[in-house]
Chain A
Amino acid sequence: MSSFAYLVAGWLFVIGLYGLVTSRNLVHAVTSLAVTQSSTYVLLLTIGFQWGGTAPVFGDTPITTTVVDPVVQALVLTDVVVGATVTALLLALAIQVDKRHGTVDPDELRSLES
Chain B
Amino acid sequence: MASSAQLTAVMSSWMYLWFPDMYLHSLMTDSADTRSPCVLLSERQHVLQLTDTARTAGVQPGMSLASALLLCPELVIHTLDSTYHQQLLTQRALWACRYSAQVYPDSPQGLWLEIGSMLKLFGGLRNYWRQIEQECLRQHWPVQIATATTPLAARWLALSDTGRPTLQAKELRPLIDALKLEDLQLPHNQLLNLQRLGICTLAELRRLPLAETGRRISPDLMHQMQQLDGLRQYPMTPFQPPLTFSDSALFSHDVEHRNGLFFPLSRLLNSLSGFLHHHQLSVRWIDLSIQHRDQPQTHWQIHFARPEYRYNELIQLCRYQLERQQLPAPATALNLNVERFCPRASEQAELDNSEAGHQKQSINLLNRLYSRLTERQINNLQTTGDPRPEYAWNIATPTKHHTDSAPTRKGQWPLWLLATPVAIPEPDLSPQTVVHGPVRIDSGWWEHVQIRRDYYQLFQHQQLLWVFRDDQGCWFLHGYFS
A and B physically associate: no
Name B residues whose Cβ lies closer than 8 Å to a Cβ of A.
Answer: none
Name A residues whose Cβ lies closer than 8 Å to a Cβ of B.
Answer: none
